[in-house]
Every structure is written in structure tokens, then in C-alpha cells.
């Protein structure tokens, strides 16, 4: 066998990549021991831009915070060589705080007597232009289009006039002139002016007009457009199209198509609302455009199905082109079956060939060319199956965990309780399944503090576990877990093994 054949054979028999070793990078907004977390500071959305050099977070207080990459991309290598490689080298990514702005304010719908929270549900980056960043942010009802740009701060330059002399000269003019004029009706005496004929008081040889100078720059966020009054139910998703001109917004029953330049109207492309609301069996939970095909999008439902639709088929896409759903095992139905089957998030892979979905118990990877079932299923919360009754009582079973894929498509990730996140290898034969505590900062001395429940009902589950005979708060692997802390939101860098994840009000960065 020659060398070329041996190389091909080695490549053919090569197994999945080795598991990654994740390391802590940095943290923003870490609370000190015993510090209470304000509800408005809890992070509710995370999104990298396409380059990975910018990161945006939204919180329950309606604020958007932007971060930018600061570490250099060259480490003795040619930039062109780095751009050709998806994962050039393992390096320490560093971000810094850039700016923040108030995106949404609390509102009140007087027609429906309904309070509208300012909480940011989703953030999506748009195409940059002329050095300005554009992004979409939405709360339950209103989508806003923001432009963030550096503006030069204008200041008035200093004059060449001595303030003391100006004041004395001006006061002498004011004090003497009116008296002279009032006494004899003539013009005021000009003796306090100099003999020079330039018309300036003594001590002032020239008069310079004020000049505007621009010395400093400041980041300014401006709301360019507001897309409102198009959803009767809470918006759960927004997604940009690859044509860079349109985007979709989805609520429980409808998906609308918008043009970025037109905020006054939208087109309803999906409507699952039945004629009689009593016949409603499922709702839309998430929606996303295909990364490269501008005519394709997918949306998930509360019944655990994913529908792929083609905008070329009809104006109203009530009929799907493909349906993806996992067939449940016979005899396995229970009261919780439909609840835990509800998909909370879907993401297209970068190549557009695969879709990742997250339901309460599992992560599933789907091939859009194979609708018979998922190509891979990853167990995330299987250890919670005996505790579904307790999870239902305190509403934890309705928690909506997000998911993400690596840029090379080799790995997937999602969050869990106790501020844990899990990374799985999705290549055939891979056994990679890493669990990390996102909130465990190795740079800080750990101090044990009593955990505070996110809401009063959350403590009922810990009481129920302590009353049981099994070990309190321990999963099948012996890992302790806490239902009052949960990692719902995370994002994978588009071209590197770097993950940003939110634990309450803190943003943690990890890399491999």
C-alpha cells in the first residue's frame, strides 16, 4: 500500500474529535457573596454577531448591553491564513463592555387592560454599514430597530480673551454709558475706549470668534424604526433573513414577515389560529430563517414538531413542505408527555443542513433531508423524570432552555439547572458529554451562601426532595442540582470554540 492509500485509509478510520477542555475566560456583572439579584438585572437574551467580534445581551429591565472583542487575532500568523481556518488556534478570547441603552420601557395596553413588560425576549444582529452596528430587539409586543454608531462630541474652543479684563471693560461701559446719555441726551463718553481705532476696549488687542472642535467620540444608540401593533400574543422569536432585507417575528399563533425599511405593515405568512379557540391543540414556540436560503424557514410547536416551510409555495404558508417529529414509544404516554415534548428553541446549523431543537428533557439534531426522526438525541434532564410532579407544581417544567451549535457543526450545547451547561459531540461515534458550572469563577474564592429562590414557589421542590428517602438535590451521576438557579440563555461563537452564557445577572465566558 502506498503512502497516499495509507493516508486515505487513516482518514476514513479516523474517529470523532477528542473532547474539548473548557476553561473559564471572564465574567461580567458577577455578584458578590450575599448580594441580592434585582429582577430587572437578570439577563434574558444573548446573541453574537456574524463576525463574533461583538456580543449583545438583553435583560428584564429592557436594557441592551453591547460588548466588543479586544484580544488580537494574530499570534505570529498571517491574517489571511487565519481567515481560511474555522478554528485557527486555541486562544483566550477577551471582551470588554462597549455601551448600553434602554431599548424598551414598560407599557400598558388600555384596550386589553394588560401590562406589557419591558423584558427583552430576543436580540438579532443585522448587517453593519459605514462603521455602524444595527440590531433588532423585541419584548412581548414591540420590535425595535437600533443603530449604534460612534459620534464625535463637539466642544467650543477656548477664546483668547482674558475673562477678568472683559468683565471690567464691560462693567465700565454699562456703568458710565447710561449716565452720560441720560444727563445730557448725548451719546456716552468714549474716553474709556483706547486711542486705537479697532473699536476694542483696553487690554483686548484682537477678538476671536468661538470655534467648534471635535476631540472625543461617544457611542450613540438611536431607534430607527418601531414595528408595533402586529401581534396579539407574546412575541417569542425574531429572525433575520439571509437577503438582509426582511425578517420574521413569531408569537403563539402567527408568524409575520417584515421589511426592515417598512414599519407600517407586515405580511402574515403563518396562521395556526383555529376558527374556534377551543379547538386549539398546539402553539408556535420558536421560528428561524434558513441561514442561506431566503425562501425557507422553520418553526417549532408545543407538540414537539418542527415544520419546514417554503415561501415560494403560497402567500399564506399554512401547509408545510416537511414535518419533523419524534415518534414516542407506545405505552409511554403520561400527563406530562406533551408538556416535556414542547420545543423551547430551534437553531439552524451554519451549513443549513441540520436543525437543533431543545425540549425539556433532550436535545435533538435533525437532518432536513430526513424527516423520519432525529439523527441524534442527547439526554439532558433524564435524571429529573422521577421528579416531574414537583417540577410541575412549581412551574419549573415550563422553563424554556435555549440551545446552540458550534460553527463547525461538531458540537451542540444547552443549559440546565444549578447554572450548569452541557456540551455534546454530535459526530457519529462521539461520546463527548461535558458538564460545566458556568457560575464557578476559578479566579474568585468561593463562599458558600444560602441560595435565594427566584420566586416563592421554587422552594417547594427542595422541601419535597428533603422529605424523600433519596439524597437531596443529587442526580444519577452524583452531581448536586438546584432548581432555583438555571442557565436558560447561551450562545456559541460563530467561528471559535467559545460560549457565552447567562447565570441570573452575570455573563460568563468559556473557551476551549
Span 301-323, pLDDT tens digits: 999 999 999 999 888 888 888 99
Q: Cell 458578590 belongs to which residue? A: 32
CATH topology of domain 26-147+219-511: Methylamine Dehydrogenase; Chain H (2.130.10)
Grid cell, residue 326, equals 419524534
The residue ranking higher by pLDDT, 255 or 151, is: 255
User: How high does pLDDT run on average in the chain?
Assistant: 80
- Cα separations in angstroms, 161 against 200, 207, 208, 333: 12, 7, 8, 87
CA 472 to chain centre: 34
Q: Which of 5-14, 314-323, 388-397 has the highest mean pLDDT?
A: 388-397
How confident is the model at residue 443, as a pLDDT? Answer: 65
What mean pLDDT comes out for the span 468-489? 62
Highest average pLDDT, of 34-43, 84-93, 173-182, 254-263, comes from: 254-263
pLDDT of residue 467: 30
Band (pLDDT 50/70/90 cuts) for residue 6 is very low
- For range 15-37, the mean pLDDT: 85
Residue 242: Cβ within 10 Å count: 15
**Residue linked to cell 452596528:** 133
Of 157, 137, 132, the residue nearest 147 (C-alpha): 132
pLDDT in tens, 184-227: 455 555 544 444 555 555 555 666 667 777 667 788 999 999 99
What is the rounded average pLDDT of the residues 249-274?
Answer: 95
Percent of the chain at pLDDT > 90 equals 57
What average pLDDT does range 66-83 have in this prediction? Answer: 61
Mean pLDDT over 479-502 rounds to 88
Per-residue model confidence (pLDDT) at position 460:
29
* pLDDT at 202 (0 to 100): 59
pTM, two decimals, is 0.77
| pLDDT, position 281 | 92
- The backbone torsions φ and ψ at residue 398, rounded to the nearest 5 degrees and listed phi first, read -95, 5
Contact 451, 485 (CB under 8 A): yes
Amino acid at each position: 500500500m502506498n503512502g497516499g492509500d495509507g493516508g486515505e485509509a487513516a482518514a476514513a478510520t479516523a474517529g470523532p474529535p477528542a473532547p474539548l477542555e473548557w476553561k473559564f475566560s471572564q465574567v461580567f456583572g458577577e455578584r458578590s457573596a450575599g448580594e441580592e439579584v434585582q429582577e430587572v438585572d437578570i439577563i434574558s437574551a444573548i446573541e453574537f454577531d456574524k463576525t463574533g467580534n461583538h456580543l449583545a445581551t438583553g435583560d428584564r429591565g429592557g436594557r441592551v448591553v453591547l460588548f466588543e472583542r479586544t484580544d488580537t487575532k494574530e499570534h505570529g500568523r498571517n491574517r489571511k491564513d487565519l481567515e481560511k481556518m474555522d478554528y485557527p488556534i486555541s486562544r483566550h478570547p477577551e471582551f470588554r463592555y462597549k455601551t448600553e441603552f434602554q431599548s424598551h420601557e414598560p407599557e400598558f395596553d388600555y384596550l386589553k387592560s394588560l401590562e406589557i413588560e419591558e423584558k427583552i425576549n430576543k436580540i438579532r444582529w443585522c448587517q453593519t454599514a459605514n462603521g455602524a452596528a444595527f440590531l433588532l430587539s423585541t419584548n412581548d409586543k414591540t420590535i425595535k430597530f437600533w443603530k449604534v454608531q460612534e459620534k464625535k462630541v463637539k466642544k467650543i474652543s477656548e477664546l483668547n480673551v482674558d475673562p477678568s479684563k472683559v468683565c471690567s471693560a464691560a462693567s465700565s461701559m454699562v456703568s458710565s454709558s447710561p449716565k452720560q446719555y441720560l444727563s445730557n441726551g448725548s451719546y456716552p463718553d468714549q474716553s474709556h475706549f483706547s486711542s486705537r481705532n479697532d473699536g476694542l476696549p483696553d487690554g483686548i488687542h484682537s477678538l476671536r470668534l468661538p470655534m467648534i472642535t471635535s476631540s472625543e467620540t461617544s457611542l450613540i444608540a438611536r431607534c430607527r424604526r418601531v414595528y408595533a401593533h402586529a401581534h396579539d400574543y407574546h412575541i417569542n422569536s425574531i429572525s433575520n433573513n439571509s437577503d438582509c432585507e426582511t425578517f420574521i417575528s413569531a408569537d403563539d399563533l402567527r408568524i409575520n414577515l417584515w421589511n426592515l425599511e417598512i414599519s407600517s405593515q407586515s405580511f402574515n405568512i403563518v396562521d395556526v389560529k383555529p376558527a374556534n379557540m377551543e379547538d386549539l391543540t398546539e402553539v408556535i414556540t420558536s421560528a428561524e430563517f434558513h441561514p442561506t436560503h431566503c425562501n425557507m424557514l422553520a418553526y417549532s410547536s408545543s407538540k414537539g414538531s418542527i415544520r419546514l416551510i417554503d415561501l415560494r409555495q403560497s402567500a399564506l404558508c399554512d401547509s408545510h413542505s416537511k414535518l419533523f417529529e419524534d415518534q414516542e414509544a407506545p405505552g409511554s404516554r403520561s400527563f406530562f408527555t406533551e408538556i416535556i415534548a414542547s420545543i423551547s428553541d430551534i437553531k439552524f446549523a451554519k451549513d443549513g443542513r441540520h436543525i437543533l431543537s431543545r425540549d425539556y428533557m433532550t436535545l435533538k439534531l435533525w437532518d432536513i433531508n430526513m424527516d423520519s426522526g432525529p439523527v441524534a438525541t442527547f439526554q439532558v434532564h433524564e435524571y429529573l423524570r422521577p421528579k416531574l410532579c414537583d417540577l410541575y407544581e412549581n412551574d419549573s417544567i415550563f422553563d424554556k432552555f435555549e440551545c446552540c451549535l458550534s460553527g463547525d457543526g461538531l458540537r451542540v450545547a444547552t443549559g440546565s439547572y444549578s447554572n450548569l451547561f452541557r456540551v455534546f459531540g454530535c459526530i457519529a461515534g462521539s461520546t463527548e458529554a461535558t458538564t460545566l458550572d458556568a457560575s464557578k469563577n476559578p479566579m474568585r474564592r468561593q463562599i458558600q451562601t444560602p441560595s435565594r429562590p427566584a420566586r416563592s414557589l421554587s422552594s417547594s421542590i427542595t422541601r419535597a426532595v428533603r422529605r424523600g428517602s433519596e439524597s437531596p438535590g443529587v442526580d444519577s451521576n452524583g452531581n448536586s442540582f438546584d432548581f432555583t438557579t438555571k442557565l436558560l440563555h447561551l450562545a456559541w461563537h460563530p467561528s471559535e470554540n467559545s460560549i457565552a452564557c447567562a447565570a441570573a445577572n452575570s455573563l460568563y465566558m468559556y473557551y476551549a
